[in-house]
A and B are shown apart, each in its own frame.
Chain A
Amino acid sequence: MKEFAVFWGCTIQTRFPFIEKSTRTVLEAFGLPYRDIDGFTCCPEKSLVNNIDHAAFVLTAARNVALVDELGYDLVSPCTGCVSNLATVSCELKANPKEKDSVNGMLKEVGREFTGKAKLHHLVPFFHDTVGLLAIKQKMKRDFSGMKIALHYGCHMIRPSHALRNDDPLNPQKFDNLIRAMGAESLQFLTKLMCCGQGLDRIDEHDRALHFARIKLRELKSIGADALVLCCPSCFLQFDNNQFLMEKEGERFGIPVIYFTELLGLSMGYTAEELGMTSHRVDCEPFIKKWESLANKPSREAAIEEGLSGPNLLS
């Protein structure tokens, strides 16, 4: 497998170091050739930087990709925003030779060059396509059969599709496949692909941001989801932090929000503590407790076997 640089991004490193913890834990456990490299800046964040200055957006992203290009690595990110922004710019420059030349003219002044050779992956499709479901099953100590999981893809894991080209942008399957390979049921529900709405918290509209979280959390509560699983720090902020804020005001949902790497780590035998899950604001205990209680239950086969071979009133 080709070596790859991990692009952590600002949000994970600033607010959620425990996500970095669980990601490193699973990358190590799979023995994947990941590298930490010097020189990354913010990806940059699209809604903020691109709205104000498109040229600064392109130049900053091109420089980040150039760092990976030079080393001959690919790039993998556990942040949907980062990978979507980098891929959007990379795709734009590949399609516009003139713009690429002008960007490279500036990058040259700091000794860099954007070639766009590096493949840019989000961690979830990367696990699906490059690590593979079989390798994942082999590493698992215990699966999640009996657990009902609601997935939130996160818009920018799969869109814009012309830049990311990793799944069907309106009917994605790969995250579902991973969850099913881990033995859980992937719930299908109305708001499954609805945007988390965290962006509203970045334009001084906190109440609306809460309302977007509420719409999905209500549905998850009513269909009995054991957890919401996702792989984006922005969506995590929206559903963990904002759910917690609503619960403090007396609106209870009780939906644990679990990062993909944490779920994978649990199945491989790491504890919630080791994976940093005890740092979440919404308690993950109910999920862990239910999962543990299922482990103590005899398997379906054993229960039937016992019924068939046990005491027989007819004889």
Chain B
Amino acid sequence: MLEATLNMKLLEMCSKCGACFSICPSCMHIPGYDPREVIKDILDGNHEKWLTSKHIWQCLECHHCLEICYQHYGFENAMTALRTIAARKGVHPAQVKRGWEMFVKTSRLGEPALPARKKFGLPEPKASGAEEFKKLMALLKERRGHKGE
């Protein structure tokens, strides 16, 4: 599953580089946050131990590492892959679970604040695409079922 989303060759290069460490805000300001450690473990075949670590969720997806990287790759790819695996195993943060549930149920992360809209003289909100969205999510599930995922 890991190989499917991560390029081990690029990660090998990372293990010899580490340039983005010095520009990553979480590396600078969160004690113990160090994607270099995570990448080392992935390359050694020990990614499992990170799945329950809060550090994989502390990547802010700011894309600084991607932009400074000579491979246009970035630490974030390793963190995203591990987050996805953690979520598939159900060990993701409670708040992320709640947000995801709201998203699949309503197609949004909150509904327009109607009283405030009135106060500011804003027009009626436009129709939502929730019905179509639900059809698509069902379709996605169905196609996955066929592929036996």
Contact = CB atoms under 8 A, between A and B. Distances in A.
Interface in A1-40: 10-11, 13-15, 17-18, 20-21, 24, 36-40
Of A64, A109, A159, A203, most B-chain CB atoms within 10 Å: A203
A196 B16 CA distance: 29
Contact of A49 (B62, B95, B100, B125): B100
A155 B62 contact: yes
B93 interface: yes
A195 interface: yes
Closest 7 CB pairs of A and B: A14-B110, A159-B63, A195-B62, A41-B107, A39-B129, A155-B62, A10-B109
Given A14-B109, A63-B136, A211-B29, A40 B126 contact: yes
Interface size, B (range): 35 or more
B82 to A, nearest CB: 10
A72 interface: no
B123 A14 contact: no
Contacts of A14: 108-113
A122 to B, nearest CB: 14
A169 interface: yes
B139 interface: yes
Interface in B80-131: 80, 83-84, 87, 92-96, 99-100, 103-104, 107-113, 116-117, 119-123, 125-130
Contacts of B109: 10-11, 14, 42, 45, 48
B120 A195 contact: no
Interface of A: 10-11, 13-15, 17-18, 20-21, 24, 36-42, 44-52, 54-56, 59-60, 63-64, 67, 106-107, 109-110, 112, 155-156, 159-162, 169-170, 193-195, 197, 199-200, 202-205, 208, 211-212, 215, 276
B49 interface: no
Secondary structure call for the A interface = helix
A215 B133 contact: no
Contact of A48 (B25, B63, B99, B125): B99
A64 B112 CA distance: 18
Contacts of A112: 132
A161 B67 contact: yes
B133 A60 contact: yes
Contacts of A109: 135-136, 139
Contact of B137 (A11, A56, A208): A56
